[in-house]
Amino acid sequence: MSRHYEAPSYASDQDGIDERCAQWAAELPDVDTRGMGVLGRARWITLTARPPIEAVFKAHDLDSGEADVLFSLLRSGPPYRLRPTELFRTLMISSGGLTDRLNRLAKAGLIRRAVAEGDGRSLPVELTEEGARRAKEAFQEDMAVEAAMLEGLTEDEQTQLAGLLRKLALTITATKPFA
């Protein structure tokens, strides 16, 4: 098996990553570039997909961080309420970053801090009606944009790709080969 990423044999299916891998194979033939074939594309896809997704959030007067908070609350189910520590874990951000997001969302009337039953020290975060409405609309539009991005793949290919990416994510998380 080659230690280099191998581009498709027909030119119409080649992209910029194929070109970079070929250049590196010529310059440093002993360097394994297969990771670039996968991770380079993942990075390019992320960078290319973000602007249209961000545009959806902007149309709802949200940024991606605010949308993440609203979506986390919405997917938690009724009463759409989570403790800040639960939100913090799902969002993978600093506590200061979460506080800033919560303050902006509260000021916009999209969330409120509710008094927890039996624990006056804990102030769960919950969606307001407007927050739930805006989160639902933004999420539905976001998923429509993302589905359109996947139209070049069959349903089976989408399922296969999602499974392979899950396996890669779990492998990277478990082994941390970069550490």
10 and 81 co-located in one domain: no
Q: Is the pLDDT of residue 77 over 50?
A: yes
Q: Is residue 171 domain-resident?
A: no
Please check whether residue 139 is in contact with residue 74, taking contact to mean a CB–CB distance below 8 angstroms.
Answer: yes
- Do 9 and 86 belong to one domain? no
- pLDDT higher than threshold 70 for residue 110: yes
Kindly state whether residue 81 falls inside one of the protein's structural domains: yes
Q: What is the CATH number of the domain that holds 68?
A: 1.10.10.10
Contacts of 72 (CB under 8 A, 6+ apart): 82, 87, 90, 91
Q: Residue 120: which pLDDT band, with cuts at 50, 70 and 90?
A: very low
Q: Judge if 71 and 120 occupy the same domain.
A: yes
Nearest CA-CA partner of 43 in 62, 65, 20? 20
- Check whether residue 34 and residue 67 sit in a common domain: no
In a domain, 136, yes or no: yes
- Give me the number of domains the chain comprises: 2
- Structural domain range at position 116: 62-150
DSSP-derived 3-state class of residue 59: helix
Alpha-carbon gap, residue 135 to 60, rounded angstroms = 9
- Taking only the tens place, the pLDDT of each residue in 147-173 is 999 999 999 999 999 999 999 999 988
Q: What is the mean pLDDT of the chain?
A: 88
